[in-house]
Amino acid sequence: MQGDDDLMRLAGTGDRAAFSQLVARHLARATGIAGRVTGNRSDAEEIVQEAFLRAWLKAPDWQAQADREGGASFATWFYRVLVNLCIDRRRRPVNAPIEAAAEVADPNPGGYEATARAETSARVAQAVAALPERQRAALVLCHFEGVSNIDAAAILDVSIGALESLLVRGRRALKEALLDLAPEPSAAKGTMR
């Protein structure tokens, strides 16, 4: 199995099959990251396409870039491009997404639970979306996508200490924003005297 950098070099020679392998290898994760950072599925899909287009255009110069940047891996470079595109997209003024339209209640049994879960998910997504861009990107990469701190720091182009600081501040802000969702202490435990 060829590595990402080898596939990029082959794509640089016009090998579409090699580039297709790269796309297949990274599409699902890229779409997940972009969706969580932007909070909008259609924006995420456009951003992923743009990131892969940039990778295709960069492929002919890939070896020179990797040598110049001290051997930066394709994944680190690609996800850095992806996250930066997401941040740029979030900075643009946008119209309300279709997902913001009122939902019709599910008449089936269990509809209340599904609606409550959907509302909780929406609240969490809204709280994540309200975070500063770098905190949001750090949380998405490390907590939702399982990227290691070392790789996330490289993707965001920050030190590991700065990444950990972003994570701490992001978690603290989420905890404060979602405090009302925390379960209340059980009354069955009794009171201490």
Q: What is the pLDDT along the chain (193 residues), one digit of tens a residue?
A: 788 888 999 998 989 999 999 999 999 999 999 999 888 888 899 999 999 999 999 988 887 555 555 566 888 999 999 999 988 887 776 566 666 666 666 555 566 677 778 888 888 888 888 889 899 999 989 988 888 999 999 999 999 999 999 999 999 998 888 888 777 665 445 444 4
Say whether both 113 and 73 belong to one domain.
no
Q: Which two tokens stand for residue 151?
A: 């790789």
Single pTM value for the model: 0.63
Does residue 137 fall inside a structural domain?
yes
Provide the residue range defining the domain that includes 154: 97-188
Does residue 193 fall inside a structural domain?
no
Say whether both 109 and 62 belong to one domain.
no
Say whether both 76 and 101 belong to one domain.
no
User: Of 88, 116, 138, which residue sits at a domain end?
Assistant: 88
Domain count, the chain: 2
Say whether both 36 and 73 belong to one domain.
yes
